[in-house]
Amino acid sequence: MLARRTVTSVRALRATRLLSTRAADILSSLDIPTSVELPGVYDGNWVGNGDIMESVCPTTGEVLARVKTASPEELQHALIKSREAYRFFRTVPAPRRGEILRQIRQALSDKRDALGALVSLEMGKIRTEGVGEVQEFVDICDYAVGLSRMMNGNVVSSERPGHTILEVPNPLGVVAVLSAFNFPVAVYGWNLALSMAAGNATLWKPSPSTPLCSIAVTKIVAGVLEKNGIPGAVAGLVTGGKDVGEAVVESRDVDMVSFTGSEAIGRIVGKTVQSRFGKILLELGGNNASVVMPDADLSVAVPSVFFGSIGTAGQRCTSTRRLYLHRKIASEFLELLQKMYGSIRVGDPLVSSTLLGPLHNTTGVNIFTDAVKHLRDSEANILTGGSRYSETPFDKGNFVQPTIAIPKSVDPTDKIWSTETFAPVLCAAVFDELEEAIEWNNAVPQGLSSSLWTRDLRNMGKWIGPSGSDTGIVNVNVGTSGAEIGAAFGGNKSTGWGRESGGDAWKQYVRWSACTINFSDEAPLAQGVDFSV
C-alpha cells in the first residue's frame, strides 16, 4: 500500500511540474492540458494506458508534456475501430467527403498560428516554417476538396462489338501513416487529405518525439468529424515507440502503409508490408545537390542554397547537402555564401527574427558531430562552422553551427558524399562540365531532389531530360527545398519511389478494377479466340 501511494505521489509531482510561460501559453491555446498526463490514443475516444512518453523542447530541454501511449490492447482496438470506420466512410459520397475536408481545412486555418507555434516549440523549426507547415495541410485540404469531385476512372474502347471497358477507382481500406519528426503536421496532412477524399480510414502513428503536434491536430480533425456524425476512427491516432510502429506495419488490418523516415527503417518497413502483400508508400532519405553553372544568376542562387542548406536546421528531406560549383564561379559563390552564413540569426525559433533554431534532439547533434569529425579526419577544408553553440542560452538546447566543407575527395561513392547527413552540413566540390556534375548528382543511392542554376536553355533541357538528373524532383533556378502541394512529392532509388500530395498521388490511395461490360446479345472472346462446340 505504501509503495502504491509513493508511485501515485511521484506521478502527481511530475504532472504538476512548472512549464515556462512560452510553452504553457501555446499548449493552452490548443486546449492541451498542462497539469496531467495526456492520453495518446484516439479511436473515437481518447484513451492511453501504455508506456509514458515525454515531449521535450529542443530549444530549452524542458519537458513539455507526458503522454500515455497505446497499450497492445488499445492498439488492436484502434485497428478494429479503423476497419469499422472504413466500412462506414466508403459509402459516403465523395463530394460529401470533400465537404468534410473543407470544414477540416477551415478548422485548421483558424488554428494555423497556434499550431505553427506548437511545431516550433516541439520540433524546433523557426516560427515562419512552423506556420508554413500548417499552411501545407490547409492547402492540401483545398486540393482534396476539388479532387473529391474529380477522382475519375477511364473508359477504354473494347475490341469486341457491344462491349466497353471501365477502369474504376474505389476506396482502398485502412491507411496507416507513420510520420517523422521533421514535418510533424504536413506529412500526415498530405496523406489524410487524399486518403479521406478516396473514402478510406486513416490511422496515424507519429514520431515518438512529437506527440503533442499529433494530439493537437487530431483534436481539431475529430471535432469536425463529430459535428458531421462521422466515426472518429476515420482519423485515428496511436502514439508510441518502436513496438507500436512494428505492430501497425505488420497488421493485416492495414491495407496501405505510408512511411516517412530513414532508409534503414524504410527497408524493413517495405519488406514487412510486401511480405503480407500490402501497399507501401515510402518517403526516405534525401541527399540533394545543387549544381551552379557559370551563367547562373548568383543574386538568386546564393540565397536559395543558403535556405536549402540551413532551413529547418538542415533537417528537411529536401535540404541541400551537396553543392557542385562550376570552376569559373566557385570562389565567388563560396565567398558570398560564407558571408550569408556569417549573418545567420540563431536563437529561439518562436522569435520572429530567428533564422536558425536547434536540431530536434541529441541524436541529431551526434549525427552532426560525427559528420564533422569524419570531415576533419579525411582532411576536408571546413570553411565555416563545425562546432556546437555552447554559450548561454544555447547550452541547454541542441544548437549547432551550420557548416560548409570542401572534402578532399570528389568521389561520389565516398561516405562524405553518398550518405545523407540530417544536419546543416553542406559539402562543396568544383566541376568543369555539366555532364560531370550530372554524373556526380546521379551517383549517390538517394534520389529525392536536385537543382540546376543556369540561364542557358540547352543546359536546362539536358538537366530535365533522359540523360539528366535522376531524382524525383528536378528543379531549374529553384532550390532543392520548398516544394508546393500541387505536384506529386517523392523520390527515386533509395528514397523509396513513393509519391505524396498532388499530381497523380491520389491513385495510390484507391483500389483499381478493370470492368468489362457486355451490352450485346453475344459473348465473343478477345483476340479472336474461337471456342465454339
Alpha helices in 344-398 (DSSP H): 362-377
Q: What is the pLDDT of residue 193?
A: 98
How far is 136 from 482, CA to CA, in rounded Å?
11
- CATH number at 412 reads 3.40.309.10
Q: What is the pLDDT of residues 499-523, one digit of tens each?
A: 999 999 999 999 999 999 999 999 9
Q: Is the dihedral of CA 210, 216, 221, 222 positive or negative?
A: positive
Q: Residue 406: beta bridge partners?
A: 381
How far is 511 from 513, CA to CA, in rounded Å?
7
Q: Are residues 252 and 342 in the same domain?
A: no
Mean pLDDT of the chain: 95
Q: Are residues 198 and 84 in the same domain?
A: yes
Position 521 in a domain: no
Q: What is the pLDDT of residue 390?
A: 87
Q: What is the pLDDT of residues 237-285, one digit of tens each?
A: 999 999 999 999 999 999 999 999 999 999 999 999 999 999 999 999 9
Residue 142: phi and psi, rounded to 5, are -55, -45
Position 13 in a domain: no
The pTM assigned to this predicted structure is 0.95
Domain count, the chain: 2
Q: Which of 129, 136, 283, 500 is catalytic?
A: 283
* Beta strand 174-178 pairing with 163-171: unpaired
Q: Are residues 293 and 280 in the same domain?
A: no
Do the Cβ atoms of 131 and 116 come closer than 8 Å? Answer: yes
Q: Is the dihedral of CA 252, 253, 257, 261 positive or negative?
A: negative
Mean pLDDT by 10 residues, the chain (533 residues): 35 55 96 95 98 97 97 98 98 98 98 98 98 98 98 97 98 98 98 98 98 98 98 98 98 98 97 98 97 98 98 98 98 98 97 97 97 97 96 93 97 96 98 98 98 98 98 98 94 97 96 98 95 91
Instruction: Kindly write down the DSSP assignment for every residue of 117-148, as one continuous string.
Output: HHHHHHT---HHHHHHHHHHHHHHHHHHHHHT
Q: What is the dihedral of CA 261, 423, 290, 385, to 10 degrees?
A: 180
Q: Are residues 336 and 269 in the same domain?
A: no
What share of residues in the chain are helix, strand, coil (percent, to 5)? 40, 20, 35
Peptide bond into 393 cis (omega under 30): yes
CB atoms within 10 A of CB 220: 19
Q: Are residues 130 and 217 in the same domain?
A: yes
Q: Are residues 235 and 326 in the same domain?
A: no
Q: What is the dihedral of CA 451, 455, 461, 462, to 10 degrees?
A: -70
Position 379 in a domain: yes
How far is 520 from 388, CA to CA, in rounded Å?
76
How far is 249 from 122, CA to CA, in rounded Å?
26
Amino acid (1-letter code) at residue 301: A
**Does the annotation count 283 as an active-site position?**
yes
Q: What is the pLDDT of residue 5?
A: 36
Which structural domain, as residue segments, surrounds residue 441? 288-491
- CATH number at 181 reads 3.40.605.10
Q: Which H helix or E strand runs over 54?
A: strand 52-56
Q: Are residues 235 and 202 in the same domain?
A: yes
Q: What is the pLDDT of residue 212?
A: 98
Q: Are residues 504 and 453 in the same domain?
A: no
